[in-house]
Structures are given as structure tokens and as C-alpha cells.
Amino acid sequence: MIHSLFLINASGDIFLEKHWKSVVSRSVCDYFFEAQERATEPENVPPVIPTPHHYLISVLRHRIYFVAVIQSEVPPLFVIEFLHRVVDTFQDYFGVCTEAAIKDNVVVVYELLEEMLDNGFPLATESNILKELIKPPTILRTMVNTITGSTNVGEQLPTGQLSVVPWRRTGVKYTNNEAYFDVVEEIDAIIDKSGSTITAEIQGVIDACVKLTGMPDLTLSFMNPRLLDDVSFHPCVRFKRWEAERILSFIPPDGNFRLLSYHVSSQNLVAIPVYVKHNITFREGSSQGRFDLTLGPKQTMGKAVESVLVSSQLPRGVLNANLNPSQGAYTFDPVTKLLTWDVGKINPQKLPNLKGTMNLQAGASKPDENPTINIQFKIQQMAISGLKVNRLDMYGEKYKPFKGIKYMTKAGKFQVRTYQHFLMVQTSM
């Protein structure tokens, strides 16, 4: 099982270690540092690294490497999922998951880690249970504790840990009972140079914020549940009911949680909400290249495309770029060759355009790489898959809750490949 955990910051310092079995010397991290050195980018460090006596399994989150040490055969996904849970818990407790926040709350961090694993076996990883065991630090509580000498460790056995609904604590009370659901879809797509879709898929989630008194039993139904053929549920969802009736029936955890995540595969027809017209060319023998890029909305059902951000890694030979945006601002980093253009909102009447020239190193040959254009955007009040919630009902409690559903579509990994006229100056055969 999980032996130890090391937290390493971007500059390669181990700033926290925790051992659940015998102590493993921190020199084991040297193997990690070696791998880190070999990697060109921080995110290219391989997630599983073998050492003579241990295995290091790591995730990179918020510019911190969480490195778990294991000694015997343990499913790597198990370890990675656990590390994710650690990150989520820190974020939940401290608002952010940064080195500073962890250092400031080092005792709470230690208490949490101790509570999350016992001898390397996960013990309590549900945020609801943890919060009953260890109260999150707040300025108010810190003050109260200092005055009264009380503690931020719960004295009671967390009830949820043993009930059949371990994710929900008992005795929840609210004056305002409310249940909000956010349907958030991310569209991943690769568009080829001619503008046709190579692959497009949607990763969707339904995040909930439920603050309801007592033990409410909710059902959520959809107008078009057929879209959801590939789903992952929060443990609270009754799977049999879903299988039989395509209805989500569940006793919700208290507070924020992810009810469901789903995947609409590339085999379905996925609508692409923006298009890009681009012309990025270099000519043989010339030290200048042309750059011309126009964005436009399509298939957005009349909703506005907002927070648009375009970025592209220009070829290494590009020295600088003189571009003229019709709206927003652009930057070009001559070191990393990264071009970013903060477009803002797309106005369908006046399409945003970025146009100008790129200068190559004098005498440099034509670049061989194809720049890829990454696009980020948001569309409010629309789920691009067309998923729609039909109704939400509550059983088991008498009061009438406030209910709300929000939809949003975002770009995930949305990439447009460009030309780069693959030279074809035929040499004489």
C-alpha cells in the first residue's frame, strides 16, 4: 500500500513528507529529480518511476508534485486517485492548494493525511467525514479556539462513516433549503487545416450544491437521457434505477459534490461552436511570414461565445510578430514563441481578426513545424451536447426547496491544425 508521500515544489525542494509505515529516506526522491531533469516540460515527468526498492507515483497539481512511494504491488490508478483526493481535500480546506497554504496549515495537513490513510489503506477520504473529524481552519475558528481553548478536532465519531449512506452526515439543518445543479460540458476537438472535424468529443459533468435539511431523496430526470450512454456516477446514485428507468435517484451528500460525469464520444455528431479561418505561411527564401486569423461562431443556438483566448506555439525560427488585432490584445513571447490573443467576446456582426507579419531569423530556412492553434471559450446557458434536465423531485422531506439548473459549455482541448505548406519544392530526381 502507499508507504510515504513527499510534496515537492517547482524549484525541487521537498517541503513536506509523511510516512504511513516505516520511514523512507527522502533520498528516494533523487530518482524523481533525475526524471524531472530529463523531462523537457514539467508535465512530461512520467507518472510512474521505478527505483531499485520502491516505485514513485506522482501527479503534478498547482505546480506541486505529489510523489507517493510504494514498495509492493499496488494498482497505480489507486495511488493516483488517492493523490487527487489529497489535492481536492487541501483545496477544499484551504481554498487554494499552494505551497504557502500547505505550510501555513502544516498541522492540519498532517492530521488530514493521518486520517486519510491508515497503514497505507484509505481510511476517510470523503470530504463530509473529514470535515466532521477535522474542522477546516477559518479565521473565526482560529480566534475562537485561541480564546476558549477548544479544538478543531471533532470529538464525536463521524456518523456517516458507518451508515449505509456514508457520504451524508445526519442531522443536517438549513433555514434556506436549496439544490443547485451545474451542467458543464467541455468540448475536446481536433480540427484539421481544411476546417473539417477530425475528432470531437464532449466531457460533461453535473456538479451539485445541495443544502437540504434532513435526509432528502432526490430524483433527477432528463429530456434526452439517451445521450448519456457512458457515465460515471457518484456512489450515491442508485445504479439499478438508472439502468431500468434512466432516472438519477439519490440521497445527496451535503454541500458540493460531483453527481455525475459523462462522455459523449466522437461517434456521435458533436456540434463545433466556433470556426477559425487562418492563413499562416512562410515562403522559401523570404525572412517574412504572413499571419491572418479570423474567428467566427457557428452552431451556438444564438448564444454568445465569450472569454475567447487563442494561443499558438509559433515555429522556433520566428523572431517576432507584428500583428494587428481587430479587438482584444495579443502578446508574443520571443523566448517560448508563444502567441496569445485575448479576444473576449465574439461579435457575429464583426468577426475578430488578427493579421500581420512574422519575422524569421535572417537566413533561416523555412520552419518545418505546423503551428497548432488552441482555442479557449465559454458559452453560457447551453450544453453543447443538447442535454437538458427535465425535472427534479424531492421525497422523504416535507419542505419545498429552491431548485436551479445552470448550463455551460467550455472548450477543453480544442485545437485547430494549420497549413504549413509542407514545402513540396521537388528536388530534381
Near another protein by CB under 8 A, which window of 100-108, 208-216, 352-360, 398-406?
100-108
Residue 67: strand, helix, or coil: strand
Please work out the total of residues on this chain that contact another protein, with binding judged by CB under 8 A: 110
Q: Which of 62, 221, 234, 290 binds another protein (CB under 8 A)?
A: 234
Is residue 230 a contact residue for another protein (CB under 8 A)? yes
Is residue 147 a contact residue for another protein (CB under 8 A)? yes
CB-based contacts of 67, cutoff 8 Å, min separation 6: 5, 6, 7, 8, 29, 32, 56, 57, 58
In the region spanning residues 26 to 85, those forming contacts with another protein, defined by CB under 8 A, are: 26, 39-41, 43-44, 46-48, 50, 53, 55, 57-59, 71-78, 80-82, 84
Enter the DSSP assignment of 397: -
Element spanning 4, H or E: strand 2-8
Strand partners, 181: 208, 405
- Are 290 and 357 spatial neighbours (Cβ–Cβ below 8 Å)? yes
CB-based contacts of 124, cutoff 8 Å, min separation 6: 115, 116, 130, 133, 158, 161
Is residue 96 a contact residue for another protein (CB under 8 A)? no
Is residue 10 a contact residue for another protein (CB under 8 A)? no
In the region spanning residues 366 to 425, those forming contacts with another protein, defined by CB under 8 A, are: 368-370, 372, 374, 413, 415, 417, 420, 422-424
Is residue 263 a contact residue for another protein (CB under 8 A)? yes
Q: Which of 203, 221, 287, 340 binds another protein (CB under 8 A)?
A: 203
Is residue 170 a contact residue for another protein (CB under 8 A)? no
Euclidean distance between CA atoms 32 and 47, whole angstroms? 10
> What radius of gyration, in Å, describes the C-alpha atoms of the chain?
26
Near another protein by CB under 8 A, which window of 235-243, 326-334, 378-386, 400-408?
235-243
Instruction: Tell which residue, 385, 223, 226, has the closest CA to residue 301.
Output: 385
284 or 398: whose CB is closer to another protein? 284
Q: Which of 67, 128, 166, 321 binds another protein (CB under 8 A)?
A: 166
Q: How far apart are the first and last CA of the chain?
A: 63
Element spanning 100, H or E: helix 99-104
CB of 256 to another protein, least distance (A): 15
Q: Which of 171, 243, 302, 362 binds another protein (CB under 8 A)?
A: 243
CB of 53 to another protein, least distance (A): 6
Is residue 235 a contact residue for another protein (CB under 8 A)? yes
- Are 355 and 323 spatial neighbours (Cβ–Cβ below 8 Å)? yes
Q: Give the helix ranges, DSSP H, for 215-353.
A: 239-245
Q: Which of 201, 271, 274, 387 binds another protein (CB under 8 A)?
A: 201
Is residue 9 a contact residue for another protein (CB under 8 A)? no
Is residue 207 a contact residue for another protein (CB under 8 A)? no
Enter the DSSP assignment of 76: H
